[in-house]
A and B are shown apart, each in its own frame.
Chain A
Amino acid sequence: MGKISFFLKEAFGSLRRNYFMTIAALVTVFLSIVVLGGVLVFVYTTNALLKEVEQKVEITVFLKTDPDPTTDQVDAMQTKIMGWPEVKSSVFVSKEEALNRLKEDFKDNPEILQDLTGNPLPASFEISLKDPQTVSSVAERFKGDPVVDEVSYGKEIADKLFSFTSQARNFLLGFIVLLGIVAILLISNTIRLSIFARKREVEIMKLVGATNWFIRWPFVIEGVFVGFVGAAAATVVILILNSFLVGKIRNGLPFMAVPLDAVPYVLVVLMLLGVGVVIGAAGSGIGLRRFLKV
């Protein structure tokens, strides 16, 4: 009891006395956590966006036009498609509907469609999948079907997108790990610097019979305090910046539906605070080690 209050007094006393070093350490923690948090939020958001884009991968199955398939054939096909477990939904687009859509697309310059006679457009099925990665294997099943003319699912685009997203994920993950290491080095170095300034003080404490832990505790408390405060400030900045940027994206790119729940905020906040505290405590503990050898 008496000891704990002594340690707390020591810790906050020296935080105040060495205010310059305190500020330096705070700024280091703050900047590191801002960058770390920024990347984290970015990863979560892009991840959600990529998921969104992936969901948009669809298979379009064009049916033969000469002759057009009968209603029975269409119904049978729809039933067959819906029977596949990978399929989320399948919409039949008739020839007429296809033409309407075309007219709708070109309503601003109808002269393009002037020469169109009759309805040359094929009917089609638009299939969306539960797991976009299954797109190739599902598309494959239409090969050789007598009423199917052509299957299109943007093969290259889909494949490119998938390889890009998995690469992007790996890259960002690696980036976060790297950043974490850099932050730890930076912070423990700053703390070591502040401890170095108090080398003599630590030496004297040891010579009058203080144990290592007796000396260490106030330093660890200081580290935890600096880590927590720096991380808390960084977290606030991250959250404000995030909501500001999400707003900007919503206004600027309305077709990109930025999901509101993309970032698990509670988890991210706890993670950042935890990282701050652990880095602060470990930084002081490690930084102190070589001065305790008296």
Chain B
Amino acid sequence: MIRFEDVTKIYPPSTVGLEKVSLHIEKGEFVFLVGPSGSGKSTFIRLLIKELEPDRGRISVGGRDLATLRNWKVPYLRRNIGCVFQDFKLLTNKTAFQNVMYALVVTGQATGASKKKAAEILSLVGLGHKSNSYPNELSGGEQQRVSIARAFVNHPPLLIADEPTGNLDPETSMGIMQLLYRINKTGTTVLMATHDREMVDRMRRRVVALDVGKVVRDQKRGGYGED
């Protein structure tokens, strides 16, 4: 599903984002991306959706080489990757419902059925009653959940989440994790960057640890820290 071959990303002038990262993630896997702040987790994700271009190395997603992917095809790549952004990236002048709908409308679905779908997924993340609120009327955790709803409303084959539980209380976090778990069970590949030690330890899934842009650990059934 995802292949990174020797990928290096340097932010000008010389900040290391990623350094010589090689990583394969198979279809249907559930992977935690861990590491201290500034270790390159978000950089990894931004490369994956072609928001950034690597300086060296190759990246392919779903069998497609991103370097040779035509510009006009990038939107179609992104529609197949649901992405929960660390800073949510909600459209500030649209309600929670309209934000979720936007992901459907861009793919040409603006039907009654898709409206129902959007309403359902908002209820699923526990925001049914806030669908008409604007992002600035929502708490951080609520905005995060809108972002999750938008990422998954298309049922993309790949779901990436950058700290999706960063602003949530343990109980809501658990709810979100269970949601991601269920999503993964339906065959969706899930990649989640997180600092949530407890969560990672409890799930016992594949853990990839980054430090200063390098992969320092890749464990099949790992925990947050070294065992």
Name A residues whose Cβ lies closer than 8 Å to a Cβ of B.
2-3, 6, 13-14, 17, 201, 203-212, 214, 294
Contacts and interface: CB of A to CB of B under 8 A. Distances in A.
Nearest 6 pairs between A and B by C-beta?
A209-B79, A209-B78, A2-B110, A210-B106, A211-B75, A204-B89
A9 to B, nearest CB: 10
Contacts of A14: 93
A205 B51 CA distance: 12
A40 to B, nearest CB: 39
B177 to A, nearest CB: 23
Q: Chain B CB within 10 Å — which of A17, A201, A204, A209 has the most?
A: A209
A208 B110 contact: no
B154 to A, nearest CB: 8
Interface residues of B, number: 23
A208 B76 contact: no
B78 A294 contact: no
B124 interface: no
Contacts of A212: 72, 75
Given A214-B106, A294-B51, A207 B89 contact: yes
B51 A207 contact: yes
Interface in B82-103: 83, 85, 89-93, 102-103
Given A2-B110, A207-B78, A207-B89, 9 more contacts: A3-B108, A6-B105, A201-B91, A201-B93, A203-B89, A205-B106, A207-B83, A210-B106, A211-B75
Contacts of B51: 207, 294
Interface string B103-134: 10111101100000000000000000000000
B106 A208 contact: yes
Given A2-B111, A209-B75, A209-B78, A13 B93 contact: yes
Nearest to A210: B106
A201 B94 CA distance: 11
B49 interface: yes
B93 A207 contact: no
A13 B108 CA distance: 20
A293 to B, nearest CB: 8
Contacts of A203: 89
B150 interface: yes
15 contacts: A2-B110, A2-B111, A3-B110, A201-B93, A204-B91, A205-B102, A206-B75, A207-B85, A208-B89, A209-B76, A209-B78, A209-B79, A209-B106, A210-B75, A294-B51
Interface in B134-180: 150
Interface of B: 49, 51, 72, 75-76, 78-79, 83, 85, 89-93, 102-103, 105-108, 110-111, 150
Contacts of B93: 13-14, 17, 201
B103 A209 contact: yes
B49 A207 contact: yes
A204 B105 CA distance: 14
B78 A208 contact: yes
B83 to A, nearest CB: 7
A256 to B, nearest CB: 57
B107 A209 contact: yes
B98 to A, nearest CB: 10
A17 B93 CA distance: 8
Contact of B90 (A17, A204, A209, A210): A204
A211 B89 CA distance: 17
A3 B108 CA distance: 7
B91 A6 contact: no
Contacts of B91: 201, 204-205
